[in-house]
Chains A and B, each alone.
Chain A
Amino acid sequence: MGQRRVAITGLGLVSPYCGDLADFFVRLTAGESAIRHLRMEDAPQPLSIPFAGCPGFDPDAALGKPLVSMTDRFAQLAVAAAFSAWDDAGLPRAGDESREAWGVSWGTALGGTLTHEKVYRDLWLKGRDRLPPLTVVLGMNNAANAHISIQLGLGGVSMSHTVACASSTIAIGEAFRRVRSGEAAVMLTGGSDVPQAYGVARAWEALRVMAPGDAETSAAACRPFAANRRGLVLGEGGAALVLEDWDHAVARGARIHGEIAGYGTSCDHSHLVRPEAAGQVRALNATLADAGLAAADIDYVNAHGTATAEGDPVEIAALRTVFGEHAETLPVSATKSMHGHLLGAAGAIEAIATVLALREQAIPPTANLTPDTLDPACRGVDHVFSGRHGVKLRAALSNSFAFGGSNAVLAFRAVAP
């Protein structure tokens, strides 16, 4: 089978802004932060961090009580986002035999951490000698993709990818390859994570990469590429995309949001947490080659941009290497400044932001960054300080550079209206 074009026909999100997809992009391009102050009072020691939650998410309303009772919150966010993307693609939820080869590729860095934390607390603190029988199936990392396959009647591959912050970018890339090769006409892909388990938040805190913030300062706590950046802000969420064989999508009259054109990966193979530009360059070049795009064809990059001291300058250095003379005019923004770092869902929510940028011909900014606060070490690209509308975007990249040195990049093309 030859290489096929891959259309994006469905987008779905449990939005941190509590609204729909259109609302998400409007707020994102307006530079509005969804980050709030989280104070966890029922923990052994009160935890106080900036956090991007999904306070409007009602699992019972989205999924129904029977499914909610069988799922950890990370799988609830996954299925809700998948339903939303599936509906957006105009596909009926009830399956038939035509879906036997359709599959799911899902990203999660943490899996059912909330479930594990709750039951382990009972084991250790309450001295219990046994756990609820559903513990294993609630907590397992592939619970999200399994439930999506069951709910949508998808009989092809159902797999999960756990690659830290690159989990869902890799999940989307692997789904893309299945559709492009002709193995599956449709793949549901994306990612979800719930990092607000007390132990998880404390573990990230111990790495000294978390930005501080209180009730007044949390909304502006995440400042990628700024000299006054203090680190990343965690967030929860679920984001899903429907990838579809182009001809299949056209034949059924589906609306096409954009095209996924290429995917590239690499490993720094040098250090667990210190990123290296050379590894990122390899992933960026592999993606451009896979997509058949030249550096000059790219009109926007959604950066990994976590707002850490080490990560931001390395990413800009990698972009400058790959884009050469075009780097100075290459629009770059880090939307994590507004929706936070969703870990295993980060790549998926940023892929959605990138696809919407191409569809709407508008670029979301890096919030909390101005020309005056830009770190000199992060100069050399066209930083997007405020949202841009009415721009001409032909193709864009979305970067995910994970702990472990795993790098993954996706390339998208705009579709003519």
Chain B
Amino acid sequence: MKSIELIRNFLAARQGIEATKVVPEALLADLGVDSLMMLELVFEFEDQLGVTLPDELESPKTVGEMVALMDGLVASQKG
């Protein structure tokens, strides 16, 4: 599954947000992703893609930054 699809599925299930609103420039905070929800999103991401995020991590602000982070980790850890 592509990273953007994973984020869209997560936000649809948890926040009831339509996929069309989950675009790269959208701010995660505007989509209801606070610090707790970010932890859940990261957990889901690690769970589904089989990668591990480092503990020290600068939190992404936009959907695009989140996608880039996820794609980078998948490439480095699974590639």
Whether B14 contacts A66 by the Cβ 8 Å rule is yes
* Residues from chain A with Cβ under 8 Å of B42 in the complex: 133
B60 at the binding interface (Cβ < 8 Å): no
Chain A residues with CB below 8 A from B36, complex form? 70, 133-134, 137
A65 contacts the other chain (CB 8 A): yes
Task: Say whether A69 faces chain B, with CB atoms less than 8 Å apart.
Answer: yes
CA distance A65 to B15 in the complex (A): 5
B16 close to A132 (CB less than 8 A):
no
Question: A-side binding surface: helix, strand, loop or mixed?
Answer: loop
- Of B15, B16, B39, the residue contacting A134 (CB under 8 A) is B39
Tell me whether A64 is interfacial, beta carbon within 8 Å: yes
A134 touches B40 (CB 8 A): yes
Choice from B14, B16, B32, B40 contacting A133 with Cβ under 8 Å = B40
Task: Determine how close the nearest CB of chain A comes to the CB of B9; give it in whole angstroms.
Answer: 13
CA distance A130 to B15 in the complex (A): 23
Which chain A residue lies CB-closest to B38?
A133
Question: Nearest B residue to A134 by beta-carbon distance?
Answer: B40
CA distance A333 to B13 in the complex (A): 45
Q: Name A60's closest neighbour in chain B (CB-CB).
A: B16
Residue of A nearest to B12 (CB): A65
Quick one: which of A66, A133, A137 contacts B43, CB cutoff 8 A? A133
Give the CA-CA distance A130 to B39 in the complex, in Å. Answer: 13
Residues of chain B within 8 A of A137, CB atoms compared: 36
A65 touches B40 (CB 8 A): no
CA distance A109 to B43 in the complex (A): 30
CB-defined contacts of A132 to chain B, threshold 8 Å? 40, 43
In the complex, chain A residues whose CB is within 8 Å of the CB of B14: 65-66, 69
Cβ-defined contact, B16 with A66, below 8 A: yes
Tell me the B2-36 residues at the A interface (CB within 8 Å). Answer: 13-16, 32, 36
Check B15 against A66 for contact (C-beta < 8 Å).
yes
Note all chain A residues with C-beta closer than 8 A to B16. Answer: 60, 64-66
- CB-CB under 8 A from B40, the residues of chain A are 132-134
A66, B32: Cβ atoms closer than 8 Å: yes
Q: How many angstroms between the C-alpha atoms of A330 and B74 in the bound complex? A: 73
Q: What separation, in Å, do the CA atoms of A64 and B43 have in the docked complex?
A: 23
B43 contacts across to A, CB distance below 8 A: 130, 132-133
- In whole angstroms, what is the CA distance A282 to B43 when docked? 52
A29–B14 Cα gap in the complex (Å)? 40
Chain B residues in 8 Å Cβ range of A60 = 16
Distance between B72 CB and nearest chain A CB, rounded to angstroms: 22
A182–chain B nearest beta-carbon distance, Å:
36
A114 CB to nearest B CB, Å: 17
Contact of B13 with A69 in the complex, beta carbons under 8 Å: yes
A66 to chain B: which residues have CB within 8 Å? Answer: 14-16, 32
Per-position binary interface string of chain A over residues 64-79, scored 1 when its CB falls under 8 Å from any chain B CB and 0 otherwise: 1110011000000000
Q: Which of A367-409 contact B (CB under 8 A)?
A: none
Point out the residues of chain A lying under 8 angstroms from B15, CB to CB: 65-66, 69
Distance (whole angstroms) from the CB of A135 to the closest CB of chain B = 10
The answer for the CA separation of A132 and B43 in the assembled complex, in Å, is: 7
A55-93 vs B, CB cutoff 8 Å, 1 = contact: the mask equals 000001000111001100000000000000000000000
- B residues in contact with A134, CB < 8 Å: 36, 39-40
Residues of B within 8 A of A65 (CB): 13-16
Considering the chains assembled together, what is the distance between the CA atoms of A348 and B79 in angstroms?
57
Q: Which residue of B lies closest to A131 (CB)?
A: B43
Specify the chain A residue showing the minimal Cβ separation from B14.
Answer: A69
Proximity bits, A263-274, B CB within 8 Å = 1, else 0:
000000000000
Nearest 7 CB-CB pairs, A to B? A65-B16, A133-B39, A69-B14, A66-B15, A66-B32, A133-B43, A133-B40
The chain B residues found within 8 Å of chain A, CB to CB, are 13-16, 32, 36-37, 39-40, 42-43
Known: A66-B32, A69-B14. 7 other contacts (CB 8 A): A60-B16, A69-B37, A70-B36, A132-B40, A133-B39, A134-B40, A137-B36
Can you report 8 A-B residue pairs in the complex whose CB atoms are below 8 A from each other? A65-B15, A65-B16, A69-B15, A69-B37, A70-B36, A132-B43, A133-B40, A134-B40
